[in-house]
Amino acid sequence: MSYKRLTPCILIDGGKAVKWFDDRIVVAEDVVALAKHYSDNGADELLVFDLSNSDEDHDESIDLMKRINRVISIPMVAGGNIRRQEDVKKILYAGAKRAMLNLSKPVSIELLEEVSKRFGKERIAVSMNDFDQLFKQQHLIEEYCTEMVFMHRLDLASVENITEIPCVVVTDTMECAEILKILKSSGVKGVSGLFISQQDLNFDEFKHVCVKEGIRMTSFESMMDFSELKLDADGLIPVIVQDYKTNEVLMLAYMNEEAFDHTIKSGRMTYYSRSRQEQWVKGETSGHYQYVKSMIADCDKDTILAKVEQIGAACHTGNRSCFFQQIVGNDFDAKNPLQIFESVYNTIVDRKQNPKEGSYTNYLFDKGIDKILKKVGEEATEIVIAAKNPNPEEIKYEISDFLYHAMVLMVERGVTWEDITNELADR
């Protein structure tokens, strides 16, 4: 049996979250805050439906998807109002793991092969609301997408007999028993809809209910039992925590078996406090959660290395890392490329927020987007000219100039290095 996922859905209409496809009662004015709520409270994935009809409203929804992607730590699958390949591109560039095409619309059927070949079938999902669509388009679905989203309740047994592509079922049922029945289906990887999208649903508690029903509910599967680890006299094991992108060491903490199990189940780093003698989820009070990317035991199995996505500061002092007090050695700037880029980027952000007299960066911001774009174009041309010169020093100099001006443009347009690295990683 595969692991199952709880996937709340957000339906965007007029820049707000509404209750259902045929019920446009507003359930949340702040769509981004709602998405963050789901992500922070144990949801495994997020479905976003754009219910707009006009290009203007569609662009507003795309902007909301970008903002959602910046605050969540779970995958996002998004669709709605897709009429052309460019719409799929916008959704994927907004940070969606997959763009979702509605096969009840002829234009989506026409686009499916084209966008799959352009962006890769692993980036494409399809949605449908009747079994007949699956039967008719089975060959297209299996060749050009990797996820299906079924709207409402269907004959799941028939679905399993037709295709092996995993599906998420979006249902309007509020019956817990019906949700459990759907999750038990071998062809279903997740469930969404009104029940799962309740803002007061406790995802951890509901996952416990699912586990008692024999449903495996976690994104992680531990390949090592806690009993295999070597513990100290108090039954604890030290955990070194590292940023998964930069390899920066963030902190050292301890786990007991309960904290270990909760970390595996929830995907959020959970520790045992030796001073308070209680379990604690990192970020529960501060909002500075640590989302698990990997956990590795050392050669003696007496220490765990956890690579995480750190939200905010890891240290209670407000510092990014707990390791900031110099003892010996020289204080130097690490040459990790991403750290350098982030440092320069943050300086540019600071200039924009806190203008400094005589600053060239502030001069660019004051002149506006046209001036910034002109400089980006000029620096790109300088790279071409330098590349014709056999001296590589000129190329390094011009590329550095170009990257600086590109970062000014990024700050002006609200694009972060995380946006860029995520996009490159997805490609």
- Does the structure show a pLDDT above 80 at 208? yes
CA-CA-CA-CA torsion for 66, 129, 86, 415, nearest 10 degrees?
Answer: 10
H-state helical runs in 120-170: 131-136, 138-144, 156-162
**Which residues of the chain are in CATH 3.20.20.70 domains?**
5-212
CB atoms under 10 Å from CB of 140, counted, come to 15
**Which residues of the chain are in CATH 3.10.20.810 domains?**
226-310
Q: What is the pTM of this model?
A: 0.67
Tokens 């820049």 label which residue? 15
Tokens 């379990």 label which residue? 279
CA-CA-CA-CA torsion for 227, 228, 230, 236, nearest 10 degrees?
Answer: -40
CB atoms under 10 Å from CB of 45, counted, come to 23
pLDDT at 270: 96
Classify domain 226-310 at the CATH topology level: Ubiquitin-like (UB roll) (3.10.20)
Q: For domain 5-212, say whether CATH 3.40.50.1460 is its number.
A: no
- Residue 157 banded pLDDT, cuts 50, 70, 90: low
Q: What is the pLDDT of residues 115-131, one digit of tens each?
A: 999 999 999 999 988 76
Q: From CA 417, how far away is CA 409, in angstroms rounded?
A: 12
pLDDT at 336: 65
When comparing pLDDT for 40 and 333, which is higher? 40
pLDDT at 76: 95
Give the lowest-confidence range in 34-38, 300-304, 318-322.
Answer: 318-322
List, as one string, the DSSP characters of 242-308: EETTT--EEEEEEE-HHHHHHHHHHSB-EEEETTTTEEEETTTTTS--EEEEEEEE-TTSS-EEEEE
Q: From CA 89, how far away is CA 382, in angstroms rounded?
A: 30
Q: What is the pLDDT of residues 361-385, one digit of tens each?
A: 999 999 999 999 999 999 999 999 9
- Residue 216 banded pLDDT, cuts 50, 70, 90: confident
Name which CATH class applies to 337-426: mainly alpha
Contact 56, 17 (CB under 8 A): no
Q: What is the pLDDT of residues 54-74, one digit of tens each?
A: 999 999 999 999 999 888 888
Burial of 130 (0-12, 13-18, 19+ CB in 10 A): middle
What does R_g of the chain's alpha carbons equal in angstroms? 24
Mean pLDDT of 235-261: 93
- Does the structure show a pLDDT above 80 at 316? yes
**Which residues of the chain are in CATH 1.10.287.1080 domains?**
337-426
Q: What is the pLDDT of residues 31-52, one digit of tens each?
A: 999 999 998 888 989 999 999 9
236 HSE (CA, 13 A, CB side): 15
* Tokens linked to 182: 């759907």
Contact 263, 292 (CB under 8 A): yes
